[in-house]
Structure 1
Amino acid sequence: MDANRFQQEALRTVRINWAHENGPDIAILGAIGELGSLASVLKKKQRDNEAYSHFKEHFSEEIGDILWYVIIMASRMNMTFDRWPTSEGLELDIFQSTYSLLDHIYLLHKKRASLFETRSVNQEDLNLYIETLRNLQHLAGFVDQNLSEIADKCVNKTLSYWGRNHELPAVKFDEGFPIYEQLPRKFEIEFLPLQEPSTTIMRMNGVQLGDRLTDNSYEDDGYRFHDVFHIAGAGLLGWSPVFRRLLKAKRKSNPKVDEVEDGARAAIIEEAIINHVYDYARPDFLEGIQHVDLDLIKRVQRLVRGYEVSQCEPWEWQHCILEGYRVFRELKETGSGVLHVDADNRTLTLRPHSDK
């Protein structure tokens, strides 16, 4: 991807109010933060050597994140780039190049006042941005890449996170399997409180699913409703080994799929993801939050690497997490309800239970 195309694509995903008194700080601190992540990756490589098997992947991703912030700041200052500058003539090693990038970003920070309003291009400022891009190009060479390749991956990652394709149906990972081995596309789950304190059951078509559920905690934190996250996965991602097991819909007609995709290890990974996100979401359980941390999504995607659900895009995970927690908060407040799930429209709708 050439520099001009990347600049256009990057501007599509900018959510910065430059006129706000701290608007420019989002871009500047973003670049500083990503530089810190890049330095951490380099430190881990130095410390762990060959044991750090994902070094090139992580290092190039951090370069892409810094590149995004540098380009949107340059765009704010009316700079345009037709091509990526070369790193020809730079003879720094990877550590010296990283320290040099630190110097460049510090100088960009000194130009903070210029980001409040667009103005004609200043040659001194333009040279600083070009040198910063040359620095990034040089760093890319240490992981056998260039800015064109890194820019392409950065755009795909960013757009997949900011995408809003909720009208698309959830993936049918079990399409082609017998109907009794498929997750239902439209269904309802009842959450019914019992007389025992902080205890509930789930029913589907009048049949109880699983055991009675409690918070398993000294405090009433609503965790007895955490199965809503498994249900959200089934309805919004098309994936939940745990919920599939509850429905007795494991894909036993294909023993390998049954073992790998629907087996105990996949279920443990799903539970680990839910616990990880639950810890992230506390104490307000994402109330008022419209976006989750992209780093959280990346950690989740690493956990499911090699499984069918790894096909799901970051926006799908974000939508599933936010919608799951919206219903979770509603259940915590009401204590009961009927959850309608529509995988074809990616919707979760909680209604009051008519039988109190």
Structure 2
Amino acid sequence: MKNEGSLLLSDYAAEIAATDVLNSHDFNPVLQGLYGEVGGIMATAKKNVRERTAYPGFKKAAVEEFGDTLWYLAAICRRLQIPLEDIFAEATNHGNFRNIGVASDVAEGALAYIAVPVDSTTSLDTTLVRLGQSAAALLGSTPTRITLISFARAYLDAMHAAKLAFSEVARGNLRKARGAFLEPQAEDLAGLDFDSDFGIEEQLPRNFKIRVNQRGSGKSYLQWKGVFIGDPLTDNIADHDGYRFHDVFHFSYAAILHWSPVMRALIRHKRKSNPRYDEEQDSGRAIVVEEGVSAWIFSRAKELNFFENQEKVSLGLLKTIGEFVAGYEVEKCPLKLWERAILDGYAVFRQLKANQGGWIIGNREQRTITYMPLESEK
């Protein structure tokens, strides 16, 4: 699959298949999911009409909603053993579309055709009504080839009216779904080492041990290489919830995501040799963003017993994190890696809280963070 240009629907369908963990014999979840995503498209469009310039994120939101809808359509086709590209080919084999020949960017083919709706004046509202009607027609029974083609036609009309590129929608969904549901492979993590080109004094340490000790005052203290770092912390809340140990989350981000402006500040390893990195990635605003993400996740974690006995983090929470860190280097990390950083970080947090301290051991090469009790230092 190419990195730029057109995207073969057969490639999309093949790459996305591994993210489909729903019952392969049950149509109801995917039909209901598709119907819900069409509702999401309508809600996004309504918000855009209502708020106009106050909603600058319309395109990004619309790309995501159309992409999620495509995921469910591909899932339906997979269950019916109908190639996704066949459904769209038949959807555009219609008088409402005309084919425009273009030079192909696929090595095996010299010429490709772009199907363009003949009527470019149809409003987004009108096409969305048709899309909703065609989605409703899929409910209640096993979809037929004809109803799928009708839906695909309405889908293309609505996407055209929204002024979105199909390849952008498909690629965005592919990145999102694989990043959220599949464990990242080595090739997925290539290039996600954000400081390897800097000197050792400006890198987050490849291996680190942080000593955390709670004293009689109730404050927790951090030590790295025998030197105290940061300020002593309390929970700063009437409900003693252990937030005094929250620095473990920054160390988890450093070990697993290779990102933590907070840890860089604590150990004075900012990338000052490059003023742009120092200003845009390592300084005040980036630190505030990381602290904000950690505090927000913590408020959710309290409701879930700090993720004890949980193997997943909700996709909604992960997507919100993605919005938090947009514009920073860590946005390149797949959501599944964020999930690992959260779950592993909270596993260590629970042990720190239970034992009122301990050792935090991070390994960036293995992207791991573990706990060791203080008694082990003797």
Equivalent in the alignment of 1:151:
170
Q: Which has the higher contact order (CA 8 A, sep 6+)?
A: 1
Q: 1:244 to 1:132 in 2, by over 3 A?
A: same
Equivalent in the alignment of 2:223:
203
Equivalent in the alignment of 1:128:
147
Q: Which runs of 5+ in 2 are unaligned?
A: 1-6, 97-116
Which range moved further: 235-244 or 340-349?
235-244
Contact 1:166 1:345 survives alignment (8 Å): no
Q: 1:308 to 1:105 in 2, by over 3 A?
A: same
The amino acid of 2:175's aligned partner reads N
Distance 2:166 2:78 in 1: 17
Which range moved further: 55-64 or 296-305?
296-305
Distance 2:225 2:41 in 1: 52
Distance 2:162 2:132 in 1: 19
1:188 paired with 2:209, answer yes
Equivalent in the alignment of 1:351:
372
* 1:264-307 Cα distance to aligned partner (Å, 9 max, x none): 11111111111222223232222233332333333322332222
After superposition, residues 58-137 of structure 1 pair within 5 angstroms as: 58-83=61-86, 84=88, 85-86=91-92, 89=96, 92-111=122-141, 114=142, 125-137=144-156
1:32 paired with 2:35, answer yes
Equivalent in the alignment of 2:48:
45
* 1:80-135 Cα distance to aligned partner (Å, 9 max, x none): 33342327537652112222222222232212xx4xxxxxxxxx711111111111
Contact 2:184 2:334 survives alignment (8 Å): no
1:16 paired with 2:22, answer yes
Contact 1:170 1:236 survives alignment (8 Å): no
Q: How far off its partner does 1:148 sit?
A: 4.4
Q: Pick from 235, 239, 242 the counterpart of residue 255 of structure 2.
A: 235
Per the normalisation by structure 2, the TM-score is 0.82
* 1:162-181 Cα distance to aligned partner (Å, 9 max, x none): 23236658943223333222
Distance 2:256 2:84 in 1: 40
Contact 1:229 1:324 survives alignment (8 Å): yes
Contact 1:200 1:214 survives alignment (8 Å): yes
Q: How far off its partner does 1:185 sit?
A: 0.7
Q: Secondary structure at the match of 2:374?
A: coil
The amino acid of 2:318's aligned partner reads I
Equivalent in the alignment of 2:316:
295
1:261 paired with 2:288, answer no
Contact 1:170 1:343 survives alignment (8 Å): no
Q: Pick from 137, 142, 146 the counterpart of residue 161 of structure 2.
A: 142
Q: How far off its partner does 1:18 sit?
A: 4.3
1:212 paired with 2:232, answer yes
Distance 1:169 1:154 in 2: 20
Which range moved further: 311-320 or 215-224?
311-320
Q: Secondary structure at the match of 1:337?
A: strand
Which range moved further: 136-145 or 83-92?
83-92
Distance 2:226 2:190 in 1: 27
Distance 2:75 2:27 in 1: 10
Q: 1:303 to 1:141 in 2, by over 3 A?
A: same
Distance 1:169 1:333 in 2: 37
Distance 1:200 1:170 in 2: 35
Equivalent in the alignment of 1:223:
243
Q: 1:296 to 1:95 in 2, by over 3 A?
A: same
Equivalent in the alignment of 2:290:
270
* 1:162-209 Cα distance to aligned partner (Å, 9 max, x none): 232366589432233332222111010112121134x32221122222
Equivalent in the alignment of 2:358:
337
Q: Which runs of 5+ in 1 are unaligned?
A: 115-123
Distance 1:103 1:351 in 2: 58
Number of matched residues? 341
Q: Secondary structure at the match of 1:95?
A: helix
Which range moved further: 234-243 or 276-285?
276-285
Q: Secondary structure at the match of 2:132?
A: helix
Per the normalisation by structure 1, the TM-score is 0.87
